[in-house]
Amino acid sequence: KNEVEQSPQNLTAQEGEFITINCSYSVGISALHWLQQHPGGGIVSLFMLSSGKKKHGRLIATINIQEKHSSLHITASHPRDSAVYICAVRKYSGGGADGLTFGKGTHLIIQP
């Protein structure tokens, strides 16, 4: 079982819908990152959080440390939100040599 699991793997929704992408992890972490990968391949860091909730524009990220779960929400979704969303965790010990373990990503398509 992967230490970082994202769901769903694929999501297609209509413009304007409220979107939720989930990330569950099975290890102790010090931080969690949400990344956005555009169709061309470039990746943008959306959030880094270790507790509570962060908001930037139409994007909201929450984390529940006790439940080892984080969600990324998109309000009033738009076709330009179509991308792959990646969750990555910084483990307290182990993990990759950079301390990060990445999920496989959620492929989101927003149809007009």
Stretch that binds another protein, among 11-19, 32-40, 62-70, 74-82 (CB under 8 A): 32-40
What 8-state DSSP symbol labels residue 2? -
Q: Is 42 in the site for another protein (CB under 8 A)?
A: yes
Figure out which of the listed residues 70, 72, 83, 103 binds another protein, where binding follows CB under 8 A.
Answer: 103
For residue 15, which amino acid is it?
Answer: E
Residue 71, CA distances (Å) to 13, 49, 53, 63, 93 in order: 17, 11, 10, 7, 23
Q: Is 61 in the site for another protein (CB under 8 A)?
A: no
Sequence-distant (6+) residues with CB within 8 A of 96 are none
Stretch that binds another protein, among 15-23, 35-43, 51-59, 60-68 (CB under 8 A): 35-43
Which spans of this chain sit near another protein (rule: CB under 8 A)?
2, 4, 30-31, 33, 35, 40-45, 48, 86, 88, 90, 95-105
